Amino acid sequence: MEETYGHDGTRPMSGAEKVDFLDICKLRQSCRGFSERPVEHDKLVKCVEAGRLTHSGCNSQPWSFVVVENPEMVSEISKCGRQLKQNAFLGTAKAFIVILEEHALLSPVISCFLDSQYYAKGDLGAAAAYICLEATTQGLGSCHIGLYDRAKICELLDIPAEKQFGAVIALGYPAGDAIRSKNRKPFEDIVRFV
């Protein structure tokens, strides 16, 4: 029987436990309204562990993570992302994960040809995706937030003012359970097999 492996990398999973990754991709959606239910610390640990396990150029891991779970701080951070009217829902978020961009230490061979931060943006985007997908498997809603007051977040979280962000991700239990159909470009328009 074909074997797949569990989170610890060693435990064989039975067919019954096997998760269809595409189903997780379809279930993940930007959540724009969270319920009152607080998020368990262990679930946040799993989300950020998924970020830590993300692949990166030359395995340089150009990231660090700040998990905001203290309710007063969550409320303060939520205020930093509400410039867009559309982002008013952040007031209902129960946690945030801020992904910080760290220096990408590429292999010396690659560094000869490329600026060391060349791959970092892609790596950070991948880490954000891993976190959101893990949140989905935990039954949590997530929303990657693009517009926020970076300087204010740095001040609140004691982050050096010059630090660049990879992403700010809002988390919580979704207020509703409806799964929207995906609004995506048609497969045939963007995929070519040769």
Strands 12-13 and 4-5: what pairing? antiparallel
Query: 59 by DSSP, 3-state: which?
Result: helix
Q: Which of 87, 92, 136, 138 binds ligand FMN (CB under 6 A)?
A: 87
Size of the site for ligand FMN (CB under 6 A): 12
Is position 50 an interface residue for ligand FMN (rule: CB under 6 A)?
no
Residue closer to ligand FMN, measured from CB, 6 or 122: 122
Q: How far, CA to CA in Å, does 147 sit from each of 9, 75, 85, 109, 127? A: 36, 16, 11, 36, 18
Which of residues 57 and 174 has its CB atom nearest to ligand FMN in the complex?
174
Only segment of 40-48, 55-63, 139-147, 158-166 that touches ligand FMN (CB under 6 A): 139-147
Distance CA 124, CA 64 (A): 10
Report which secondary-structure segment, H or E, holds 130: helix 120-137
Residues in region 141-180 near ligand FMN by CB under 6 A: 143-147
Task: CB nearer to ligand FMN: give 106 or 135.
Answer: 135
- For residues 76-110, one letter each, b for 16 or more C-beta atoms within 10 angstroms of the residue's C-beta and e for the rest, the string is bbbebbbeeeebebbebbbbbbbbbbbebebeeee
Using rule CB under 6 A, residue 29 touches ligand FMN: yes
CB of 43 to ligand FMN, least distance (A): 20
Euclidean distance between CA atoms 131 and 156, whole angstroms: 22
Measured from the CB of residue 32, what is the shortest distance to ligand FMN in angstroms?
A: 5
Q: Which is nearer to ligand FMN, 119 or 148 (CB)?
A: 148
- Rounded to whole angstroms, the maximal C-alpha distance in the chain is 54
**Stretch of 33-41, 56-64, 83-91, 105-113 contacting ligand FMN, by CB under 6 A:** 83-91
**Tokens standing for 13?**
């999973």
32 binds ligand FMN (CB under 6 A): yes
Q: What residues make contact with ligand FMN under the rule CB under 6 A? A: 29-30, 32, 84, 86-87, 143-147, 182
